[in-house]
Amino acid sequence: MSKRGALKLLAFLVGLYFVLEYVLPEKLGGDFDSYEVRSPAGCVLGTNTLALYVGHYRAEQCGIGRLVQNGATGSWTRTPNRPVLQPALFQAYERYGMSQLAVQANGTALTLVYIGKNMQREPVLCYATSGDAGLTWRRHGPVVFSTNGQFLSSQKCPNGDVPGAIQWYAAQYHEGLWQMALICATKGVVLAQGPTLTNMTLQTTALRSVAQLPLGITAFDARLVSNQWRGYFVAEGRLQVQNLADGMDQVDTVDLLDTSICAYRLGPRAGEAVICVERAPATARAPEQAPVQTELYCAPARLTSNGTLMKSVGAQARPTYLTRGIKWAGDFTMIVGGFAVFMAVINLFLYHSKRIAQRQPGLHNSVLFFIFMVLMGIFTFFGNKPGEYGTQIVVRAPTPAAVTLEAALKKDMLQAFTTLTNINDKRVTVEVCLQQQGTTVTGAVLHARYIGIFPAAQRAQVVPELRAAVARHVQIAAQAVQVDFAPAVMQTGFDFVFKAFLVPLGIATFSTITFYMISAAYRAFKIRSAEAVLLMVAAFIVMIGQLPLGAWLTHGLPDGVFFLQLPWLAQKLLMVANSSAFRGVLIGIMIGGLAAGLRIWLGMDESVYAGLDK
Amino acid sequence: MEHASAPVIILFVLFAAFILLQIQRARHGAHIFLRRIAGLEVIDDAIGRATEQDRPIMFNPGRDDLSVNLFCSLSVLGYVTRKAAKLNMPVNVPVSMPLAYAMAEEYWKDAYDAMGRGGMFAVEDNIRYLSGDQNAFGMSCAGWIKRERIGANFLFGSYGFEAMIIAEAGQQAGAIQVACTPTFFQVPFFIVTCDYTVFGEEFYAAGAYFSHDPVLTGSLAGQDLCKLVVLGLIVAGIVVFTLAQQNLLASLLLW
């Protein structure tokens, strides 16, 4: 076989891998939940007890499975054996998966609320409904929240006015209203209620700030008890039940038997909860298996035991060269990509060194290139370490006695930092080294390393509080605690190059587009032909129709000639004329892409193999 | 991921069959008419004018990484480079993606070698990896265009907001500019800054337009059949939906 023929065959086989793996994964054998099972939620519908869960057949590819409990034996069975709902390929808000299910029964209908992961892998709260006990679902898109009565969902803010990313949520249909408690990234617990999930009125003030929440939440749910929200937090090996309002009093705390609970939903019946437990696998994992093993249980709500097993991961597809091949193909692409980056760097090196050697005009740019390349290399290698963002406390605790102190110590020390202004902008890592003699702690050294700027006045403010926090738990004098504050040089350097050079330069470049647009618009709007007149008129209507001025100019027109109102005209131009043209072009692009892909895949396009015959 | 439903699988098989059958027809010598595309016809003139003015030519393959779009734009790079090589002209290629760099270099060298001009121009001076960052790539291209006073600027590929920066720099430098892109949202910016703009499916037709290779021309004819099917489905959908909405279908049947 010739070199070209061999390459064509290889390209065809790699293409076939992707087609079979991505288009028809469950056709290869095995269950759709063979990778992991997560995020259970249960409810009672008539005489049936149902549960839904997210089954993954690969890390970011999943479907929602349905379980039915046998009334006599209490065991759970997956019915049907296929996913009842899958992330929609063309819905941006759930492109990369679903998680955190919550299901509510209302008469014969079921409503499923879930978090979808959008193209940027950001969480978007969505919902779907089913009229046949969860066998088929109709998705309705994002839940829409508003603080001002305007329930608007856009591509940028699909959930409307939600303040920050939704990390956890609880949903309940109560007395004809949907009630929700959201834990948002920067705001804390925020409540919302509304008649439908697209009309959820959000409270403007947070019920509880982030600082008031338990540390290290791994699962959350809440229920309305006497019109008060009661939160169930699974955090740091405990189930903490707290009233979310009025002093946040702790109702109950249970030390968990199993500390790796990663999902908790109350239900299906009162006094029960469905949970997901992560376990370290007993045996070595195959490449197509998840690194941890997950199982779903129906347990008592207080988690005094794990309860009955509902679902463990499904049957694995029989490993074939095809299923393993997807990993090999991915690795191969990464290796080729790595070589290509190396080639690109060599190209930059050759070009700029030649300019310097030949003393060409503008060689100062080339010198600057080398300086920054070396600087960025050093800063990135030493300074770009994961997990360095936000205030972090690391306790070096060699003895079991110190381990028990760790959680409380961390919480108090973090509390010390919350008194600082602009705390969200600070990035500090405090390493606590306890000095011990036997089991007795005799002293402590705190190495605090900060990234960026941390003024001396603020350091002076926080040091006594840190000392006091340590002395409170370790039973030593505050003077025995040494605090050593210093900037983390490499991380600060990395941060500085990004914040002081790259970000402003990027913004400056982006802003130049404004000037370019003006000169381009001037040329475009010069009336030279009939098309230019049409363009000018359409642009004028769209621009002025989007402004309050447009509405004001034509608001006096009688209702009979509503079509002359500028906002109406602008919307029609955008939504009808523009959209239909766009869709026409899109259909053409898709068919063109299909044809080009087919040609390349089947080795018909010879231009792909440029340079091969040399 | 939601997998293909039965109608989608049927359409996919039908479209693939149309394309493959038309390719087969073209291979057996059937004449396939290619509509004149002004934006692609002007490429030869643009190269000629840049040569007369002794100003270099730039071919920008956009910000596509290893994809169908990249192969489509690189096949046009091959054509442009061969034309320029015949006239002893350099073709500058700014690249934004490392994999695209490796491939562009291969197409570029191959074209010069094919015209017997291998080694006439240094690779590192003409094909340059600029940056993966949109801002840096746009500004570097704009600087390159202005410094070298580019005479003909071809923008073939997918672009983001940097399209405006690059194309406006070319306009200010007085270059003849031809843009050809599948990125719908950049089309207005190209229309106001470039002399000729080709977009949508014509981007995928560009390779066939120059080479007249039966595989490519046949696949274009197949695409037209696919579009007819889509058009038929749209019209049928409108008719059925309208009749159903107005209950006209029931009235007609009863009548």
A550-570: pLDDT as tens digits: 888 888 888 788 888 888 898
* Inter-chain CB proximity A506 and B135 less than 8 Å: yes
Q: What is the pLDDT of residues B169-186, one digit of tens each?
A: 999 999 999 999 988 888
* Inter-chain CB proximity B182 and A594 less than 8 Å: no
A61 close contact with B: CB closer than 8 A: yes
Q: What is the pLDDT of residues A219-252, one digit of tens each?
A: 999 999 888 899 999 988 889 998 887 666 777 8
Cα–Cα distance measured from residue B235 to residue B243, given in angstroms and rounded to the nearest whole number: 12
The whole-number pLDDT of residue A78 equals: 93
**How many Å lie between the alpha carbon of A513 and the closest alpha carbon of chain B?**
6
Contacts of A88 in chain B (CB under 8 A): 2
Q: Summarize the confidence of residues B156-168 as an average pLDDT.
A: 91
* Helical spans, DSSP H, in B88-201: 98-114, 123-126, 134-148, 162-172, 187-193
Q: What is the pLDDT of residues B67-117, one digit of tens each?
A: 888 888 888 998 999 999 999 999 999 999 988 888 898 889 988 998 888
> If you average pLDDT over each of A396-400, A520-524, B87-91, B130-134, which comes out highest?
B87-91
Residues A253, A242 contacting (CB under 8 angstroms): no
* Inter-chain CB proximity A607 and B207 less than 8 Å: yes
Categorize the per-residue pLDDT at A193 as very low, low, confident or very high, splitting at 50, 70 and 90.
Answer: very high
A289 close contact with B: CB closer than 8 A: no
Q: Summarize the confidence of residues A365-394 as an average pLDDT.
A: 80
The whole-number pLDDT of residue A315 equals: 83
Q: What is the distance, to the nearest Å, from the Cα of residue A465 to the centroid of all Cα atoms in its chain?
A: 34
pLDDT at A326 exceeding the cut of 60: yes
* Inter-chain CB proximity A593 and B171 less than 8 Å: no
Residues A277, A311 contacting (CB under 8 angstroms): no
- As a whole-number percent, the residues of chain B with pLDDT over 90 amount to 38
3-state helix, strand, coil in chain B (%, to 5): 65, 10, 25
Q: Summarize the confidence of residues B141-161 as an average pLDDT.
A: 92
Residues B202, B224 contacting (CB under 8 angstroms): no
Q: What is the distance, to the nearest Å, from the Cα of residue A226 to the centroid of all Cα atoms in its chain?
A: 34
User: Of residues A505 and A287, which shows the higher confidence score?
Assistant: A505
A575: which DSSP letter? I
Which residue type occupies A209? S
Residues A157, A165 contacting (CB under 8 angstroms): no
The whole-number pLDDT of residue A612 equals: 59
pLDDT at A385 exceeding the cut of 70: no
Backbone φ, ψ for residue A527 (5° rounding): -80, 105
Q: What is the pLDDT of residues B26-38, one digit of tens each?
A: 888 888 887 777 8
Q: What value does the mean pLDDT of chain B take?
A: 87
- As a whole-number percent, the residues of chain A with pLDDT over 90 amount to 21
* Helical spans, DSSP H, in A392-529: 400-418, 456-474, 489-496, 503-524
Cα–Cα distance measured from residue B210 to residue B204, given in angstroms and rounded to the nearest whole number: 12
Tokens 């409990």 label which residue? A69
The whole-number pLDDT of residue A74 equals: 87
Q: Summarize the confidence of residues B244-251 as an average pLDDT.
A: 68
The whole-number pLDDT of residue A399 equals: 59
User: Strands A481-487 and A440-451, how do they pair?
Assistant: parallel
User: Residue B204 is nearest to which of A350, A593, A607, comparing CB atoms?
Assistant: A593
Q: What is the pLDDT of residues A35-52, one digit of tens each?
A: 899 999 999 988 889 999
Cis peptide before A80 (omega within 30 of 0): yes
Which H or E element spans position A597?
Answer: helix A579-601
Cα–Cα distance measured from residue A554 to residue A561, given in angstroms and rounded to the nearest whole number: 10
pLDDT at A546 exceeding the cut of 50: yes
* Inter-chain CB proximity A510 and B168 less than 8 Å: no
Task: Concatenate the DSSP letters of all residues of A343-396 into one string.
Answer: HHHHHHHHHHHHHHHTT-TTHHHHHHHHHHHHHHHHHHHHH--TT-SS-EEEEE
* Inter-chain CB proximity B165 and A588 less than 8 Å: no
Q: What value does the mean pLDDT of chain A take?
A: 83
Categorize the per-residue pLDDT at B1 as very low, low, confident or very high, splitting at 50, 70 and 90.
Answer: very low
Q: Summarize the confidence of residues B198-208 as an average pLDDT.
A: 82
- Six-digit token string for B221: 């004819």
E strands within A73-187?
76-78, 98-106, 109-117, 123-130, 138-142, 145-146, 166-174, 177-184
Residues B128, A347 contacting (CB under 8 angstroms): yes
pLDDT at A521 exceeding the cut of 90: no
**Minimal Cα distance from A516: which residue of B?**
B168
Q: What is the pLDDT of residues A559-612, one digit of tens each?
A: 788 888 888 898 888 888 888 888 888 898 889 888 888 888 888 877 777 665
**Minimal Cα distance from A55: which residue of B?**
B1
Cα–Cα distance measured from residue B46 to residue B196, given in angstroms and rounded to the nearest whole number: 11
Residues A63, A34 contacting (CB under 8 angstroms): no
Neighbours of A468 (CB within 10 A): 14
Which CATH number applies to B38-211?
Answer: 3.40.50
CA angle A578, A579, A581 (to 5 degrees): 65
Which H or E element spans position A230?
Answer: strand A228-235
A614 close contact with B: CB closer than 8 A: yes
Q: Which range (A408-422, A495-509, B42-56) has the least confidence?
A: A408-422
* Inter-chain CB proximity B182 and A589 less than 8 Å: yes
User: Residue A614 is nearest to which of B3, B113, B184, comparing CB atoms?
Assistant: B113
User: Of residues A474 and B195, which shows the higher confidence score?
Assistant: B195
pLDDT at B2 exceeding the cut of 50: no
Please name the residues in contact with A344: beta carbons below 8 A apart, sequence gap of 6 or more.
B95, B98, B101, B129
Domains of chain A: 30-316 (2.115.10.20), 338-383 (no CATH), 392-487 (3.30.429.10), 525-614 (no CATH)
* Inter-chain CB proximity B20 and A354 less than 8 Å: no
Interface test with B, best of A155, A372, A604 (most B CBs within 10 A): A604
**How many Å lie between the alpha carbon of A112 and the closest alpha carbon of chain B?**
18
Cis peptide before B7 (omega within 30 of 0): no
* Inter-chain CB proximity B219 and A596 less than 8 Å: yes
Q: What is the distance, to the nearest Å, from the Cα of residue B69 to the centroid of all Cα atoms in its chain?
A: 7
Q: Which range (A41-50, A83-92, A339-348, A522-531) has the least confidence?
A: A522-531
Q: What is the ipTM of this complex?
A: 0.86
List, by residue range, all CATH 3.40.50 domains of chain B.
38-211
